[in-house]
Protein backbone atom coordinates (compact mmCIF):
# COMPACT_ATOMS: atom_id res chain seq x y z
CA UNK A 1 0.00 0.00 0.00
CA UNK A 2 1.44 3.31 -1.10
CA UNK A 3 1.09 6.09 1.43
CA UNK A 4 -0.20 9.49 0.44
CA UNK A 5 1.09 12.95 1.24
CA UNK A 6 4.43 14.07 2.59
CA UNK A 7 6.20 11.77 5.09
CA UNK A 8 6.96 14.89 7.14
CA UNK A 9 3.32 15.80 7.63
CA UNK A 10 2.82 16.57 11.31
CA UNK A 11 6.53 17.14 11.97
CA UNK A 12 5.91 20.64 13.33
CA UNK A 13 3.14 19.41 15.60
CA UNK A 14 5.30 16.64 17.06
CA UNK A 15 8.24 19.03 17.46
CA UNK A 16 6.23 21.64 19.36
CA UNK A 17 4.59 18.99 21.53
CA UNK A 18 7.94 17.44 22.45
CA UNK A 19 9.50 20.84 23.17
CA UNK A 20 6.61 21.73 25.47
CA UNK A 21 6.93 18.39 27.27
CA UNK A 22 10.68 18.83 27.75
CA UNK A 23 10.48 22.41 28.98
CA UNK A 24 7.76 21.49 31.50
CA UNK A 25 9.54 18.34 32.65
CA UNK A 26 11.18 18.22 36.11
CA UNK A 27 13.74 15.87 34.56
CA UNK A 28 14.90 18.63 32.21
CA UNK A 29 15.24 21.08 35.10
CA UNK A 30 17.32 18.60 37.08
CA UNK A 31 19.59 17.86 34.11
CA UNK A 32 20.10 21.57 33.42
CA UNK A 33 20.94 22.24 37.08
CA UNK A 34 23.35 19.31 37.04
CA UNK A 35 25.18 20.79 34.06
CA UNK A 36 25.40 24.30 35.55
CA UNK A 37 26.47 23.16 39.02
CA UNK A 38 29.04 20.73 37.63
CA UNK A 39 30.57 23.45 35.43
CA UNK A 40 30.55 26.07 38.21
CA UNK A 41 33.44 24.50 40.16
CA UNK A 42 36.02 24.37 37.32
CA UNK A 43 34.84 27.80 36.10
CA UNK A 44 35.51 29.40 39.49
CA UNK A 45 38.89 27.69 39.64
CA UNK A 46 39.76 28.96 36.14
CA UNK A 47 38.75 32.54 37.00
CA UNK A 48 40.83 32.43 40.18
CA UNK A 49 43.81 31.16 38.19
CA UNK A 50 43.48 33.70 35.35
CA UNK A 51 43.19 36.79 37.55
CA UNK A 52 46.98 36.82 37.92
CA UNK A 53 47.63 36.62 34.15
CA UNK A 54 44.93 38.94 32.79
CA UNK A 55 47.34 41.28 31.03
CA UNK A 56 49.61 38.51 29.69
CA UNK A 57 47.23 35.94 28.18
CA UNK A 58 45.62 36.80 24.80
CA UNK A 59 43.10 33.92 25.05
CA UNK A 60 41.32 34.56 28.34
CA UNK A 61 37.86 33.54 27.14
CA UNK A 62 39.17 30.22 25.82
CA UNK A 63 41.05 29.57 29.07
CA UNK A 64 37.74 29.84 30.94
CA UNK A 65 36.58 26.73 29.09
CA UNK A 66 39.89 24.87 29.06
CA UNK A 67 42.65 26.36 31.26
CA UNK A 68 46.08 24.91 30.73
CA UNK A 69 47.64 22.86 33.49
CA UNK A 70 44.29 22.14 35.15
CA UNK A 71 42.81 18.64 35.03
CA UNK A 72 39.29 19.74 35.93
CA UNK A 73 37.87 22.14 33.34
CA UNK A 74 34.50 23.14 31.90
CA UNK A 75 35.28 21.10 28.77
CA UNK A 76 36.18 18.01 30.80
CA UNK A 77 32.97 18.35 32.83
CA UNK A 78 30.88 18.76 29.67
CA UNK A 79 32.51 15.66 28.20
CA UNK A 80 30.82 13.69 30.99
CA UNK A 81 27.63 15.73 31.58
CA UNK A 82 26.49 16.12 27.95
CA UNK A 83 26.07 12.33 27.41
CA UNK A 84 24.11 12.07 30.65
CA UNK A 85 21.78 14.86 29.51
CA UNK A 86 21.35 13.34 26.04
CA UNK A 87 20.65 9.88 27.44
CA UNK A 88 18.24 11.39 29.96
CA UNK A 89 16.27 12.97 27.12
CA UNK A 90 16.27 10.04 24.70
CA UNK A 91 16.18 6.76 26.61
CA UNK A 92 12.34 6.70 26.75
CA UNK A 93 11.54 8.66 23.59
CA UNK A 94 9.75 5.76 21.86
CA UNK A 95 9.33 3.00 24.44
CA UNK A 96 7.71 5.54 26.76
CA UNK A 97 4.97 6.02 24.16
CA UNK A 98 4.63 2.22 23.95
CA UNK A 99 4.23 1.87 27.70
CA UNK A 100 1.69 4.71 27.94
CA UNK A 101 -0.32 3.15 25.08
CA UNK A 102 -0.17 6.45 23.19
CA UNK A 103 1.97 5.44 20.21
CA UNK A 104 -0.89 3.81 18.30
CA UNK A 105 -3.08 6.84 18.94
CA UNK A 106 -0.46 9.21 17.60
CA UNK A 107 0.11 7.13 14.47
CA UNK A 108 -3.65 6.88 13.94
CA UNK A 109 -3.56 10.63 13.23
CA UNK A 110 -2.24 11.96 9.89
CA UNK A 111 1.32 11.64 11.24
CA UNK A 112 3.79 9.19 9.73
CA UNK A 113 6.51 7.43 11.67
CA UNK A 114 9.08 9.55 9.83
CA UNK A 115 7.66 12.76 11.28
CA UNK A 116 7.25 11.26 14.75
CA UNK A 117 10.85 10.07 15.02
CA UNK A 118 12.36 13.16 13.39
CA UNK A 119 10.27 15.44 15.62
CA UNK A 120 11.47 13.71 18.77
CA UNK A 121 15.10 13.81 17.64
CA UNK A 122 14.97 17.48 16.59
CA UNK A 123 13.26 18.43 19.85
CA UNK A 124 16.02 16.72 21.84
CA UNK A 125 18.73 18.46 19.81
CA UNK A 126 17.06 21.86 20.29
CA UNK A 127 16.73 21.34 24.04
CA UNK A 128 20.38 20.34 24.33
CA UNK A 129 21.46 23.25 22.13
CA UNK A 130 19.48 25.74 24.24
CA UNK A 131 21.00 24.41 27.47
CA UNK A 132 24.51 24.50 26.04
CA UNK A 133 23.99 28.03 24.71
CA UNK A 134 22.82 29.17 28.16
CA UNK A 135 25.92 27.67 29.75
CA UNK A 136 28.12 29.19 27.01
CA UNK A 137 26.65 32.64 27.67
CA UNK A 138 27.00 32.24 31.43
CA UNK A 139 30.68 31.31 31.16
CA UNK A 140 31.44 34.13 28.71
CA UNK A 141 29.37 36.72 30.59
CA UNK A 142 30.66 35.96 34.06
CA UNK A 143 34.18 35.68 32.64
CA UNK A 144 34.02 39.22 31.27
CA UNK A 145 32.43 40.42 34.53
CA UNK A 146 35.08 38.89 36.80
CA UNK A 147 38.13 39.48 34.60
CA UNK A 148 37.10 42.81 33.08
CA UNK A 149 38.54 41.98 29.64
CA UNK A 150 36.23 41.63 26.60
CA UNK A 151 36.98 38.76 24.20
CA UNK A 152 38.61 39.37 20.84
CA UNK A 153 37.01 38.38 17.55
CA UNK A 154 39.24 35.29 17.24
CA UNK A 155 38.34 34.16 20.77
CA UNK A 156 34.63 34.64 20.13
CA UNK A 157 34.81 32.66 16.86
CA UNK A 158 36.71 29.80 18.51
CA UNK A 159 34.27 29.67 21.43
CA UNK A 160 31.38 29.57 18.95
CA UNK A 161 33.00 26.68 17.06
CA UNK A 162 33.40 24.87 20.37
CA UNK A 163 29.67 25.33 20.99
CA UNK A 164 28.74 23.70 17.67
CA UNK A 165 31.12 20.80 18.34
CA UNK A 166 29.44 20.30 21.73
CA UNK A 167 26.01 20.21 20.04
CA UNK A 168 27.27 17.59 17.56
CA UNK A 169 28.65 15.57 20.48
CA UNK A 170 25.27 15.74 22.20
CA UNK A 171 23.54 14.65 18.99
CA UNK A 172 25.63 11.49 18.79
CA UNK A 173 24.65 10.40 22.30
CA UNK A 174 21.02 11.39 21.75
CA UNK A 175 20.92 9.20 18.64
CA UNK A 176 22.30 6.25 20.60
CA UNK A 177 19.78 6.74 23.42
CA UNK A 178 16.88 6.87 20.94
CA UNK A 179 18.16 3.72 19.23
CA UNK A 180 18.00 1.86 22.53
CA UNK A 181 14.54 3.31 23.19
CA UNK A 182 13.37 1.66 19.97
CA UNK A 183 15.19 -1.64 20.51
CA UNK A 184 13.96 -2.20 24.08
CA UNK A 185 10.44 -1.75 25.41
CA UNK A 186 11.64 -1.19 28.98
CA UNK A 187 12.93 2.37 29.62
CA UNK A 188 15.05 1.10 32.51
CA UNK A 189 16.82 -1.39 30.24
CA UNK A 190 17.40 1.25 27.59
CA UNK A 191 18.78 3.71 30.14
CA UNK A 192 21.12 1.17 31.76
CA UNK A 193 22.50 -0.03 28.43
CA UNK A 194 22.99 3.53 27.19
CA UNK A 195 24.82 4.48 30.39
CA UNK A 196 26.89 1.30 30.12
CA UNK A 197 27.97 2.12 26.57
CA UNK A 198 28.78 5.67 27.66
CA UNK A 199 30.97 4.50 30.56
CA UNK A 200 32.69 1.92 28.36
CA UNK A 201 33.46 4.39 25.58
CA UNK A 202 34.55 7.13 27.97
CA UNK A 203 36.53 5.28 30.63
CA UNK A 204 37.47 1.81 29.36
CA UNK A 205 37.94 2.20 25.60
CA UNK A 206 40.90 4.66 25.90
CA UNK A 207 42.71 1.99 27.94
CA UNK A 208 41.70 -0.97 25.74
CA UNK A 209 42.41 0.54 22.30
CA UNK A 210 46.25 0.63 22.72
CA UNK A 211 46.31 -3.10 23.52
CA UNK A 212 44.14 -3.91 20.48
CA UNK A 213 46.39 -1.75 18.29
CA UNK A 214 49.46 -3.61 19.55
CA UNK A 215 47.81 -6.95 18.74
CA UNK A 216 46.71 -5.91 15.26
CA UNK A 217 49.99 -4.21 14.37
CA UNK A 218 52.81 -5.32 16.72
CA UNK A 219 55.43 -2.59 17.13
CA UNK A 220 58.78 -3.01 15.43
CA UNK A 221 61.59 -3.96 17.84
CA UNK A 222 63.83 -1.21 16.41
CA UNK A 223 61.33 1.48 17.38
CA UNK A 224 60.88 -0.10 20.80
CA UNK A 225 64.64 -0.06 21.47
CA UNK A 226 64.76 3.62 20.55
CA UNK A 227 61.82 4.36 22.82
CA UNK A 228 59.67 5.51 19.88
CA UNK A 229 56.17 4.34 19.08
CA UNK A 230 55.92 2.44 15.80
CA UNK A 231 54.11 4.70 13.23
CA UNK A 232 51.84 1.85 12.08
CA UNK A 233 50.93 0.94 15.66
CA UNK A 234 50.35 4.62 16.40
CA UNK A 235 48.05 4.91 13.37
CA UNK A 236 46.01 1.90 14.50
CA UNK A 237 45.88 3.25 18.04
CA UNK A 238 44.67 6.64 16.85
CA UNK A 239 42.07 5.12 14.54
CA UNK A 240 40.69 2.80 17.20
CA UNK A 241 40.60 5.53 19.84
CA UNK A 242 38.48 7.69 17.55
CA UNK A 243 35.64 5.19 17.79
CA UNK A 244 34.88 6.83 21.15
CA UNK A 245 32.77 10.02 20.81
CA UNK A 246 34.37 11.33 24.00
CA UNK A 247 37.88 11.16 22.53
CA UNK A 248 36.67 12.79 19.30
CA UNK A 249 35.10 15.60 21.32
CA UNK A 250 38.20 16.02 23.46
CA UNK A 251 40.53 16.08 20.46
CA UNK A 252 38.45 18.58 18.48
CA UNK A 253 37.87 20.94 21.39
CA UNK A 254 41.53 20.85 22.46
CA UNK A 255 42.59 22.03 19.00
CA UNK A 256 40.01 24.84 18.93
CA UNK A 257 40.32 26.08 22.52
CA UNK A 258 44.10 25.72 22.83
CA UNK A 259 45.62 27.47 19.81
CA UNK A 260 49.04 27.51 21.52
CA UNK A 261 49.28 23.72 21.74
CA UNK A 262 53.01 22.91 22.07
CA UNK A 263 52.86 20.03 19.59
CA UNK A 264 50.36 18.77 17.04
CA UNK A 265 52.26 15.60 16.19
CA UNK A 266 55.50 15.03 14.29
CA UNK A 267 53.99 15.40 10.80
CA UNK A 268 52.13 18.64 11.45
CA UNK A 269 55.04 20.07 13.43
CA UNK A 270 57.37 19.36 10.48
CA UNK A 271 54.99 21.08 8.06
CA UNK A 272 54.81 24.12 10.34
CA UNK A 273 58.61 24.21 10.56
CA UNK A 274 58.91 24.15 6.74
CA UNK A 275 56.53 27.11 6.59
CA UNK A 276 58.75 29.01 8.97
CA UNK A 277 56.28 28.90 11.84
CA UNK A 278 57.40 28.55 15.44
CA UNK A 279 56.19 25.31 17.02
CA UNK A 280 54.20 26.34 20.07
CA UNK A 281 53.02 29.63 18.58
CA UNK A 282 49.29 30.28 18.29
CA UNK A 283 47.69 28.60 15.29
CA UNK A 284 45.47 30.69 13.03
CA UNK A 285 41.78 29.90 13.27
CA UNK A 286 41.73 28.46 9.76
CA UNK A 287 44.40 25.87 10.58
CA UNK A 288 42.73 24.98 13.88
CA UNK A 289 39.49 24.38 11.98
CA UNK A 290 41.29 22.19 9.45
CA UNK A 291 42.70 20.03 12.26
CA UNK A 292 39.46 19.83 14.26
CA UNK A 293 37.21 19.35 11.21
CA UNK A 294 37.60 15.53 10.93
CA UNK A 295 36.60 15.02 14.55
CA UNK A 296 33.59 17.32 14.28
CA UNK A 297 32.44 15.66 11.04
CA UNK A 298 32.84 12.23 12.65
CA UNK A 299 30.54 13.28 15.50
CA UNK A 300 27.93 14.58 13.04
CA UNK A 301 28.24 11.41 10.95
CA UNK A 302 27.84 9.27 14.06
CA UNK A 303 24.65 11.11 15.00
CA UNK A 304 23.27 10.63 11.47
CA UNK A 305 24.16 6.93 11.35
CA UNK A 306 22.56 6.27 14.73
CA UNK A 307 19.42 8.16 13.72
CA UNK A 308 19.20 6.21 10.45
CA UNK A 309 19.58 2.93 12.37
CA UNK A 310 16.82 4.05 14.74
CA UNK A 311 14.63 4.96 11.77
CA UNK A 312 15.12 1.58 10.08
CA UNK A 313 14.35 -0.40 13.24
CA UNK A 314 11.33 1.75 14.06
CA UNK A 315 9.89 1.38 10.57
CA UNK A 316 10.04 -2.42 10.86
CA UNK A 317 8.35 -2.60 14.26
CA UNK A 318 4.73 -3.53 14.66
CA UNK A 319 2.62 -1.08 16.59
CA UNK A 320 -0.47 -2.42 18.33
CA UNK A 321 -3.20 -0.57 20.17
pLDDT in tens, 178-214: 999 999 989 899 999 999 999 999 988 888 888 888 8
Q: Cα 59 vs. chain centroid, distance in angstroms?
A: 23
**Counts of helices then strands in the chain (DSSP H, E):** 15, 0
Asked if pLDDT for residue 307 goes beyond 60, the answer is: yes
Q: What is the pLDDT of residues 221-263, one digit of tens each?
A: 676 666 666 677 777 888 888 889 999 998 889 888 887 764 5
Asked if 189 and 213 touch (Cβ cutoff 8 Å), the reply is no
Q: What is the pLDDT of residues 159-188, one digit of tens each?
A: 899 999 999 999 999 999 999 999 998 989
Separation between Cα atoms, residue 192 and residue 87, nearest integer Å: 10
- Kindly indicate the confidence band of residue 267, based on its pLDDT and cuts at 50, 70 and 90: very low
Asked if 106 and 5 touch (Cβ cutoff 8 Å), the reply is no
Separation between Cα atoms, residue 222 and residue 250, nearest integer Å: 32
Amino acid sequence: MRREGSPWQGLGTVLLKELADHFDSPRMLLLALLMVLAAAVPFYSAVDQLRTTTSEDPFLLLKLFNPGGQTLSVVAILGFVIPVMAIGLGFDAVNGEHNRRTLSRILAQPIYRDALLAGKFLAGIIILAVNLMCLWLLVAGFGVFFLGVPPSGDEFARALVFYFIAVAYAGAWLGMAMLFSVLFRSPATAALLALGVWLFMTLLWPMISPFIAALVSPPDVRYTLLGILDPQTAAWQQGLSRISPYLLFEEATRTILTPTTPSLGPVLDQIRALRGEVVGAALPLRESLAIAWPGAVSLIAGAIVLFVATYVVFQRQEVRA
